[in-house]
């Protein structure tokens, strides 16, 4: 971004004046000796982070992390695809409606929070009939035979007997 | 003690002229030559200190960070591959060190302003830049320094750095890009916004 060269003229002069700010006299005469004295002291043990920083190239590390994320994503997507293939699809709107579950499993005789029936007695739970009526013998219906006798039409007028 | 590298004299074409052979000193420092380390410190100490000082506006912090910079550099000098100048590499260490320090001490900003060089006699000129409408009409040079440093401290670390390296230290955009690991256009953009911010912060003091 280029700006008008005169736009910041005064500001630049002011900033350039900072060059003249100097530390106390003799500061730089002793500075090098202080650095070299500290340099001769044993180096502090580098932290794990510093060692990693020195030994691992950040670009390679980033590439490895990216590859790992992509790999996990692909595996997850493949797994999801397998699950979908094994599930029958139903036409839209044709799916059997299921009654809403009891909110928070608060129904009477239900184990709070789980929605499971509470079974305190230890007795065997009732048998669930998957196909109601299956295995029962058919019984003929009891019907009055007069029901089937021929009857005159309802719009005929019976002659009165005198 | 080795004499200052700026006065190292080498014969060249029959003439004696000062020459700074950075590569030679770096290669000797790699081998653990303390005299070479001393020469490198003396060559760059003022510029490294100044950069850190203008970033922190605090003499004590600048002195500590400048020492840390050289110590880190010499301890890791084996990692210096020579892709850039030693000076640029050293600057990068100083800048990263300082930015980390600023981020960790963001809430503790204590200005300790260095004295202006006594030989410098353009204080009057500098005060001439100050607006007559300034809130403190009798602002002196020391106060002006304080105002300027306080304004610099309000910039982000990257903006402060680019202003320090370009407008205070006079480094070219390309070298600043190398130090900050970004391209020249980014340097120009940061410089523009940093100056805009500074101008707004100092609007009461600068003459229109």
B127 CB-contact burial (10 Å; exposed 0-12 / middle 13-18 / buried 19+): middle
The verdict on residue B125 lying in a domain is: no
Predicted local confidence at residue B184, as pLDDT: 94
Predicted local confidence at residue B183, as pLDDT: 93
Q: How many CB atoms lie within 10 A of CB B208?
A: 6
pLDDT digits (tens, 9 = 90+) for A102-112: 555 455 555 55
The verdict on residue B63 lying in a domain is: yes
Residues whose CB is less than 8 angstroms from the CB of residue B67 and which lie 6 or more positions away in sequence, other chains included = A31, A34, A35, A38
**Considering only CA atoms, which of A43, A50, A51 is closest in space to residue B74?**
A43
**Considering only CA atoms, which of B19, B205, B43, B106 is closest in space to residue A14?**
B205
Q: Decide if A21 and B117 are in contact by the 8 Å CB cutoff.
A: yes
CB B157 within 8 A of CB B99: yes
Predicted local confidence at residue A133, as pLDDT: 65
Joined together, the tokens standing for residue B158 give 């990257």
The boundaries of the domain holding residue B159 are 20-113+138-201
Q: Decide if A14 and B117 are in contact by the 8 Å CB cutoff.
A: no
Predicted local confidence at residue B182, as pLDDT: 92
- The pLDDT confidence band at residue B206, using thresholds 50, 70 and 90, is confident
Supply the mean pLDDT for chain B.
80
A26 touches chain B (CB under 8 A): no
B43 CB-contact burial (10 Å; exposed 0-12 / middle 13-18 / buried 19+): buried
DSSP3 helix / strand / coil % (chain A, rounded to 5) = 45, 0, 55
Predicted local confidence at residue B1, as pLDDT: 40
Q: Decide if B46 and A11 are in contact by the 8 Å CB cutoff.
A: no
B47 touches chain A (CB under 8 A): no
A59 touches chain B (CB under 8 A): no
ipTM of the complex as predicted: 0.71
Which residues of chain A make contact with B182, given a CB cutoff of 8 A? none
Q: Count Cα neighbours of B111 within 13 Å in the Cβ-side half-sphere.
A: 16
Give A96-159 as a 3 state SS string: CCCCCCCHHHCCCCECCCCCCECCCCCCCCCCCCCCCCCCCCCCCCCCCHHHHCCCCCCCCCCC
Map out the domains of chain A as residue ranges. Answer: 57-81
Predicted local confidence at residue B15, as pLDDT: 43
Joined together, the tokens standing for residue B74 give 């010499």
Q: How many CB atoms lie within 10 A of CB B188?
A: 18
Residue with the bigger pLDDT between B26 and B117: it is B26
Does the pLDDT of residue B16 top 50, yes or no? no
For tokens 């300790």, name the residue.
Answer: B112
Residue with the bigger pLDDT between A48 and B114: it is A48
Q: How many CB atoms lie within 10 A of CB A116?
A: 10
**Rg of chain B in Å (alpha carbons):** 19
Predicted local confidence at residue B14, as pLDDT: 41
pTM: predicted TM-score of the whole model, two decimal places: 0.59
The verdict on residue B7 lying in a domain is: no
Give the whole-angstrom CA distance, residue A77 versus residue A74. 5
Which residues of chain A make contact with B115, given a CB cutoff of 8 A? 21-22, 24
Q: Decide if B114 and A54 are in contact by the 8 Å CB cutoff.
A: no
CB A36 within 8 A of CB B42: no
pLDDT digits (tens, 9 = 90+) for B125-172: 555 555 555 555 455 667 777 888 889 988 998 999 999 999 998 999
Predicted local confidence at residue A57, as pLDDT: 74
Which among A3, A8, A21 has CB closest to B113?
A21
Total number of domains in chain B: 1
For tokens 């060559």, name the residue.
Answer: B43
Predicted local confidence at residue B110, as pLDDT: 56
A54 touches chain B (CB under 8 A): yes
Q: Which helix (H) or strand (E) holds A7?
A: none
- The pLDDT confidence band at residue B50, using thresholds 50, 70 and 90, is very high
pLDDT digits (tens, 9 = 90+) for A120-140: 556 666 655 566 666 677 777
Of A96-100, B32-36, B138-142, B203-207, the least confident: A96-100
Joined together, the tokens standing for residue B40 give 């490198």
Question: What average pLDDT does this structure show over B87-95?
Answer: 93
Of A61-65, A154-158, B135-139, B198-202, the least confident: B135-139
Does the pLDDT of residue B6 top 80, yes or no? no
Query: What are the E-state strand segments in chain A?
Result: 21-22
| Secondary structure of residue B7 in the 3-state scheme | helix
Question: What average pLDDT does this structure show over A37-62?
Answer: 78
Predicted local confidence at residue A33, as pLDDT: 92
What CATH code is carried by the domain that includes residue B159? Answer: 1.10.1740.10
CB B6 within 8 A of CB B20: yes
Predicted local confidence at residue B148, as pLDDT: 86
Predicted local confidence at residue B114, as pLDDT: 60
The verdict on residue B207 lying in a domain is: no
């Amino acid at each position: 971004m280029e700006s008008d060269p005169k736009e910041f003229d005064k500001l630049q002069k002011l900033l350039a004046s900072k060059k003249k700010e100097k530390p106390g006299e003799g500061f730089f005469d002793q500075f090098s000796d202080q650095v070299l004295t500290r340099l001769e002291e044993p180096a502090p043990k580098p932290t794990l982070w510093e060692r990693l920083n020195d030994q691992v190239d950040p670009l390679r590390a980033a590439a490895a992390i990216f590859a790992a994320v992509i790999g996990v994503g692909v595996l997850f997507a493949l797994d999801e695809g397998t699950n979908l293939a094994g599930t029958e699809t139903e036409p839209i709107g044709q799916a059997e409606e299921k009654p809403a579950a009891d909110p928070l499993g608060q129904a009477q005789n239900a184990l709070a929070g789980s929605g499971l029936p509470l079974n305190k007695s230890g007795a065997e739970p009732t048998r669930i009939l998957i196909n109601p009526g299956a295995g029962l013998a058919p019984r003929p219906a009891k019907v009055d035979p007069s029901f089937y006798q021929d009857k005159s039409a309802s719009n005929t007028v019976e002659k009165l007997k005198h | 003690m080795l004499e200052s590298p700026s006065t190292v004299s080498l014969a060249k074409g029959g003439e004696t002229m000062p020459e700074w052979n950075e590569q030679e000193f770096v290669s000797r420092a790699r081998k653990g030559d303390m005299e070479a380390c001393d020469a490198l410190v003396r060559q760059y100490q003022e510029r490294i200190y100044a950069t850190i000082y203008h970033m922190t506006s605090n003499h004590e912090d600048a002195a500590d960070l400048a020492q840390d910079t050289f110590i880190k550099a010499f301890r890791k000098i084996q990692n210096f591959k020579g892709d850039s100048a030693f000076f640029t590499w050293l600057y990068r260490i100083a800048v990263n060190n300082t930015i980390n320090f600023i981020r960790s001490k963001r809430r503790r900003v204590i200005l300790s302003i260095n004295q202006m060089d006594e030989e410098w006699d353009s204080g009057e000129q500098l005060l001439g830049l100050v607006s007559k409408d300034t809130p403190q009409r009798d602002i002196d040079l020391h106060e002006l320094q304080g105002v300027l440093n306080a304004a610099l401290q309000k910039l982000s670390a990257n903006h402060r750095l680019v202003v320090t390296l370009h407008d205070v230290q006079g480094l070219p955009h390309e070298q600043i890009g190398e130090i900050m690991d970004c391209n020249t256009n980014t340097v120009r953009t940061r410089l523009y916004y940093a100056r805009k911010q500074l101008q707004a912060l100092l609007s009461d003091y600068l003459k229109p």
